[in-house]
Amino acid sequence: MVTQPHHLYVHVPFCRLVCAYCDFVTVGGRAHDILRYTDALLHEIEARPAPGELRTIYFGGGTPSLLSGEQVGQVVQAAEVRWQHVALEEVTVEANPSERESPDWDGLRAAGVTRISLGVQSLRDEDLVTLARGHTAREARQAYAAARRAGFDNVSIDLIYGIPGQSPSDWRGVLEAALELRPDHLSCYALQLALQPDEWAAPPRPGALRWRNRVVPRQDDALAADQYRLAEEVLAGRGYRHYELSSWALPGRESRHNSAYWARRAYTGIGAGAHSYDGAAQRSWNTRDLDTYLEVAEMDECPVADAEVLNEQERAFEAIALGLRLVDGISRRAFEAEFRLDPVERYALALAETTRKGLIEVDGDAVRLSPTGRLLASEALISFAG
């Protein structure tokens, strides 16, 4: 029997400065707990089953670069020991490019990290002030250079557009500045601010909510749409392939870990609030509360808070929703192999509506979002929802 690929996500919630726009699980002012947390992560790895062949590890946050190289190394090593089958292709750490919390580049390198995802967000200081990022464009460039110097040959940069006060030409400037660094990978995210967070998002702190209330009225989604188009055009011209709605990569530099999400492969998520998927029908998630997490994990118990079992309809919808995030779209044959019906038949009504609206194209084996549809993906996906 072929061993199925498996992926490991490690959530590190600590931040020196919690960004007002962020709704991931984060905590500020708890840096003194990092040691204890790392230990809890090791406990959780032990408490978890370790199925399949471990292919990627991804340290996301929060700010995982607050961990020392040694701490990251302990987690990587524990995973390598715990999994019977290991064939690591990619170990990513998200890093914050701030001088005051300069990552342990050499340590990370030594720990076996192969890829850095740098939260640059903008290379325009006005934008960084609006976002209250706590670092400057200069610091971001320095951090990038330091990572390269330490020997990282696979570096991704995150950028944010749709920031109030950022014109299309400002955004072009940010893209050009980023391209000068010649990153292997770029993620461009629109600034999305939830004023009334859904039940699944971390509730914003009061200060964050005040900030959002100030910023939201200044947002203009028509402008953001133009900026997205601009990114597609500029990046394509420089050899970056647009492979997922928010992701561009030089050939061969696509994120393998994230690709596993979109391909609905199995992954284990450890740490506070991390999500896991068994590759079939079950999704589960850990407790979001840091203290609860620490206590439970230290007792060698599994900190899973809840789980859901997907029915066939939900699985099929996820296949569509995640598959359509990929610019190449969904393979009709692959879908049919899994769900026994060509998606063009199964979703005839939704496809009729979305193709009429010009959101989706059916092209041979592929069902994919049109260029307009990439900006209105949610609008298109709603038609397919159960």
Residues in contact with another protein by the rule CB under 8 A: 9, 11, 24, 58, 60, 189-190, 192, 198, 200-201, 221-222, 224-225, 228, 245-246, 258, 261-262, 267, 269, 274-277, 283, 285, 308, 314, 317-318, 321-322, 325, 357, 374-379, 381-383, 385-386
Strand 185-190 versus strand 155-161 pairing type:
parallel
CA distance 123 to 163: 12
Map residue 91 onto helix, strand or coil: strand
| Cβ neighbours, 10 Å, residue 334 | 14
Decide whether 291 or 308 has the Cβ nearer to another protein.
308
Decide whether 24 or 339 has the Cβ nearer to another protein.
24
Decide whether 21 or 211 has the Cβ nearer to another protein.
21
Strand 5-12 versus strand 267-270 pairing type:
parallel
The nearest distance, CB 9 to another protein, in angstroms, is: 5
Write the CA distances from 244 to 85, 199, 254, 326, integer angstroms.
29, 26, 9, 4
Place of tokens 């947002």: 219
Sheet of 360-363: strands edge to edge? 330-331, 366-369, 360-363
Decide whether 344 or 382 has the Cβ nearer to another protein.
382
Write the CA distances from 1 to 7, 52, 87, integer angstroms.
19, 11, 17
Decide whether 139 or 242 has the Cβ nearer to another protein.
242
Decide whether 85 or 357 has the Cβ nearer to another protein.
357
Write the CA distances from 213 to 127, 132, 189, 223, 276, integer angstroms.
17, 15, 20, 19, 33
Decide whether 201 or 280 has the Cβ nearer to another protein.
201
The nearest distance, CB 167 to another protein, in angstroms, is: 16
Question: Up-side HSE of residue 349: CA atoms within 13 Å toward CB?
Answer: 5
The nearest distance, CB 44 to another protein, in angstroms, is: 15
In the DSSP assignment, the letter for residue 163 is -
| Cβ neighbours, 10 Å, residue 350 | 18
The nearest distance, CB 64 to another protein, in angstroms, is: 11
